[in-house]
Structures are given as C-alpha cells and as structure tokens.
C-alpha cells in the first residue's frame, strides 16, 4: 500500500525535470519528463517508504543521513532543488499527515531557559568544528557579495561594513549586539568605528571564545561579551544590532522582542535587525531542520513581523531584501565541509557529516529555488535619525567613510 501511495505522491509532485527512483525490491520508476536527464536515487530501507508518504521532509533528511537513501554522484543538492522547483511550480506539494502549524507554534515558545537549551543544541557543538568551514572571523550568517568574484572572507567583511553604515556609528557610541556569536561584529564595530559594544550570547562555547578573542585583540576597554539573554540586559544603547538571531526568537515572542529593542534604544538611536526571512506566504519551518538542527526556530515573513514593529513604536526607516546572497554563502560553506570531510567525521562520525551537508545544501537550495531571502530592518524611535536617501550606503559618503577607515 505504501509503495502505491509513494508512487502517486511522486507522480503528482514531479512535473518538471525527471526523477528515477529504485525501491528496496529493485523496482525502478521514472517520474516527470522522460526526455530530461534524471536525478537517480535508491532507497534501501523498506521501513522508510511509509515515512516518505506520511512525513516526507523528515524522511528525506534522515534517510540521507543514515545512508539508506543514496543519490547518483551524491547529488543530494540536485534532488532537493528538483523537489523545490516542482513544489514552487506545477507539482503538488507533499504534506505531512500531522498538525504541522500547531506543533510549529508550540515549539517556538521560548523562555530564557528554553532559549539557552535551543542555542546549546546548535552552537555548542564545538568551536573547532565551526572553524573548519566559516571565514577567519567566524561569521555564521549571510555574507554580502558586492561582486560575483568576492571570496567568502571579502563578502563577510562587506556584510559587517554594510551593517555598520546602516547604524550610522560615531566614535564612542554604545552598541548592544544581540546574539553576538563569536564576537566578530562587536570587534569590528569597536576597531573600525570606535564603538563601545556589549555583546550577548546564550552559547557557552561562543561566550568563551569571543571573550578570548576580545582579550587577544586588546579590546577589553571597548567590548564586553556577556553570557546573558537579551531580555536580561537593563542598559540603554545608542545603537542595537542583531545579526542572525531573530530566526531563533519564535513568533510568540515577537512582540516582546521589538518592545525590548524599543526600550533599550536611546531616543535618537538606530537599530539594525538582520534575519533570514520568507518572501512568500507564512509556512512552518521544515520539521527536519527544527528537530535536527535549529529547535524553536522560525523564518518570518514581512506580514508576520511588521505588525509587531508597528506596535512597538519603532519607525521602520529602511527594509532591504538581500536575494541570493545567502545561497552563495551556503555554497561556500558546503564546499568547505566537503573539503574537511575527514576531519569532521573524525570529530563526530559519518552520519553527522552527511547530516550537516544535507542541512547546508537544503538551505542553499531553498534560497535559490524557494521563497527565502534575508531581511535587514533599520529601525528608530525618531524617523529623522537616519538620512532620507541611501546615498550614505552606496554613494560618495560610503567612499569617504572607507577612506577615513583606511587612513585610521
């Protein structure tokens, strides 16, 4: 019965391109366009067939991780891209037979204790592991590719400087960095722009390494890294920046999050919130991503986010949509994970390597073929806190700031 249901599901889904599936018993079926070169996959575990019907996203990720789903030439990225193109085109999207939206909302309720647990699940894997595939500054968020030939290191530097320009920093300004990671953004704002930065993280590994990096750079007088939830910070700041953290807040806390930003921001202050976002209608995050990679996370749409910004009393001064920049960032990371396969398998095991590669490729293909992008919200209490045009980001003022930074 389950093989027949899987056959019906794939016939409805694959209408563009081609997929060739070989089942455990050896039966091979071609779906889609017979004149197109197919993605060829083989399933070796009969027990997984039922899950591919009832919970396809969990089944795909777990079967690839455990090695019971193999793809010709290990092209798991091509398989994910084929599925996404069809789900966003004429194919019928497969749905898990469970209360997905309700479960997603419940999983996003994050107290301070639960937020710390969620962070530890992902970010406390090992600092040495993240060093294997991130840039030298350990930026674990979307880079900003100013030109196609940019290296990952160049694009991550460009991201930090693009954000800094949006913050309109002046020497001596106080900055709160919500979700500071390994401290790279905080150190950049202190070193290049003369800011006094307080970074907060819930990851013990990140806190330890970020503190070590700050000390090694001699920035203790300008940067402090706290192992603390942003809701527990009591000071007020000239600027607030948050890069790659809002995805972990969870919808039930959106109102509280922007209220906190409002209350912690000076009257003439500016905040910059950089987050993965969805450019289509709201959907639940992949259950596989939530269970295996990012518990409690949610990718917000503008329609889910803006009502909370409006109610917070903050002015949205600028909203920028970065398209495909994260796809390129993830491509760089996945190539490095490929190159470091032996080290990663020695650090963890082969299953972990496949799981991490699947995660990076699934995310990359979602940015390339799905409705994901990156949102940058520039917010203020006073709508006159930033210039009325974007010349300061792209025009002569940007070049002048670059010259001053290099001269300093």
Residues identified as active-site: 363
**Spatial distance between the Cα atoms of 133 and 140, rounded to a whole number of angstroms:** 10
- Closest residue by Cα to residue 227 from 242, 205, 212: 205
- SS3 at position 310: helix
- Closest residue by Cα to residue 361 from 408, 326, 405, 392: 326
Alpha-carbon torsion (74, 125, 294, 371), positive or negative: negative
Angstrom CA distances, 272 to 153, 380, 381, stand at 22, 9, 12
In our burial notation (b when 16+ CB lie closer than 10 A, e otherwise), range 74-111 reads: eebbbbbbbbbbbeeeebeebebeeebeeebeebbebe
Instruction: Categorise residue 183: left if φ over 0, alpha if ψ from -120 to 50, beta otherwise.
Output: left
Residue where the block lists tokens 């799905």: 370
Contact 164, 184 (CB under 8 A): no
Q: Which two tokens stand for residue 57?
A: 């996203």
**Spatial distance between the Cα atoms of 375 and 368, rounded to a whole number of angstroms:** 16
Contact 11, 86 (CB under 8 A): no
């Amino acid at each position: 019965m389950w093989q027949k249901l899987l056959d019906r599901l794939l016939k409805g889904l694959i209408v563009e391109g081609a997929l060739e599936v070989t089942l455990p018993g050896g039966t091979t079926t071609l779906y889609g366009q017979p004149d197109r070169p197919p993605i060829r996959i083989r399933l070796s575990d009969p027990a997984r067939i039922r899950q591919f019907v009832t919970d396809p996203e969990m089944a795909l990720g777990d079967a690839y991780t455990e090695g019971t789903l193999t793809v010709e030439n290990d092209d798991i990225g091509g398989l994910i891209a084929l599925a996404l193109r069809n789900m966003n085109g004429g194919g019928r999207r497969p749905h898990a037979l469970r209360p997905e939206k309700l479960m997603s909302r419940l999983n996003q309720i994050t107290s301070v204790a639960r937020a710390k647990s969620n962070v530890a699940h992902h970010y406390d894997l090992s600092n040495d592991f993240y060093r294997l595939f991130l840039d030298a500054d350990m930026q674990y968020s979307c880079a900003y590719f100013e030109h196609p030939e940019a290296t990952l290191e160049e694009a991550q530097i460009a991201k930090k400087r693009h954000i800094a320009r949006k913050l309109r920093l002046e020497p001596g300004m106080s900055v709160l960095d919500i979700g500071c990671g390994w401290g790279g953004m905080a150190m950049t704002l202190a070193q290049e722009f003369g800011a006094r930065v307080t970074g907060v993280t819930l990851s013990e590994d990140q806190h330890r390494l970020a503190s070590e990096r700050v000390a090694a750079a001699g920035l203790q007088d300008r940067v402090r890294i706290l192992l603390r939830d942003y809701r527990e910070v009591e000071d007020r700041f000239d600027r607030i920046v948050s890069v790659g953290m809002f995805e972990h807040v969870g919808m039930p806390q959106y109102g509280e999050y922007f209220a906190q930003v409002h209350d912690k921001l000076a009257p003439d202050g500016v905040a910059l919130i950089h987050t993965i976002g969805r450019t289509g209608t709201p959907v639940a995050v992949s259950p596989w991503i939530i269970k295996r990679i990012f518990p409690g996370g949610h990718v917000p749409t503008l329609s889910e986010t803006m009502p909370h910004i409006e109610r917070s009393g903050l002015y949205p001064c600028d909203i920028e949509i970065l398209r495909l920049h994260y796809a390129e960032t993830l491509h760089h990371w996945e190539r490095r994970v490929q190159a470091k396969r032996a080290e990663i398998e020695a650090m963890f095991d082969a299953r972990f390597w496949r799981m991490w590669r699947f995660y990076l490729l699934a995310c990359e293909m979602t940015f390339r073929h799905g409705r994901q992008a990156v949102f940058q919200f520039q917010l203020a209490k006073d709508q006159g806190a930033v210039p009325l045009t974007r010349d300061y980001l792209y025009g002569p003022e940007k070049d002048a700031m670059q010259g001053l930074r290099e001269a300093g």
